[in-house]
A and B are shown apart, each in its own frame.
Chain A
Amino acid sequence: MIILSILGYILILIGSIFLLLGSLGIVRMPDLYNRIQAGTKATTLGALSAIIGVGLVQPEWFLKTLIIALFIVLTNPIGSHSIARSSYKSGVKPILTSQIDQYKDKYVTKESSDEK
Chain B
Amino acid sequence: MNLKKFLSTFLIYLVFWTAYTSSLKQEELLIGIIISFFLSLFTYKSFSQQKSDNNILKRLLSFIAYIPIFITEMVKANIDVAQRVINPKLPINPGIVKIPTKLKSEYAKLFLANSITLTPGTLTLDVKDQNLYIHWIDLSSEDKKIQKEIISDKFEKHLEGMF
CA distance A5 to B161 in the complex (A): 38
Q: Please give the residue numbers on chain A whose beta carbons come within 8 Å of chain B beta carbons, in ascending order.
A: 18, 21-22, 24-25, 28-31, 33-34, 36-38, 40-42, 44-46, 60, 63-64, 67, 73-74, 76-78, 80-81, 84-85, 88, 94-104, 106
B50 at the interface (CB under 8 A from A): no
CA distance A44 to B94 in the complex (A): 21
Whether the Cβ atoms of A81 and B142 lie closer than 8 Å is no
Q: Please give the residue numbers on chain B whose beta carbons come within 8 Å of chain A beta carbons, in ascending order.
A: 16, 19-20, 22, 74-75, 77-78, 80-82, 84-86, 90, 92-98, 113-115, 117-118, 121, 123-126, 128, 131, 133, 135, 137, 139, 142
Whether the Cβ atoms of B139 and A98 lie closer than 8 Å is yes
Residues of A contacting B81 in the complex (Cβ-Cβ under 8 angstroms): 21, 25, 37-38, 41-42
- 9 CB contacts below 8 A, A to B, read A21-B82, A33-B94, A37-B137, A38-B81, A42-B85, A64-B19, A77-B115, A97-B94, A103-B98
Q: Residue B139 contacts which of A22, A44, A73, A100 (CB distance < 8 angstroms)? A: A100
Report how many A-B pairs have Cβ atoms within 8 Å. 129
* Chain A, residue nearest B18 (CB): A63
Whether the Cβ atoms of B135 and A102 lie closer than 8 Å is no
Whether the Cβ atoms of B114 and A77 lie closer than 8 Å is yes
Whether the Cβ atoms of B78 and A74 lie closer than 8 Å is no
Decide yes or no: A64 and B114 within 8 Å by CB, A34-B137, A106-B98 being known contacts: no
In the assembled complex, the CB of B41 is this many whole angstroms from the nearest CB of chain A, namely 22
Residues of A contacting B82 in the complex (Cβ-Cβ under 8 angstroms): 18, 21-22, 25, 42
Q: Residue B114 contacts which of A31, A34, A38, A78 (CB distance < 8 angstroms)? A: A78
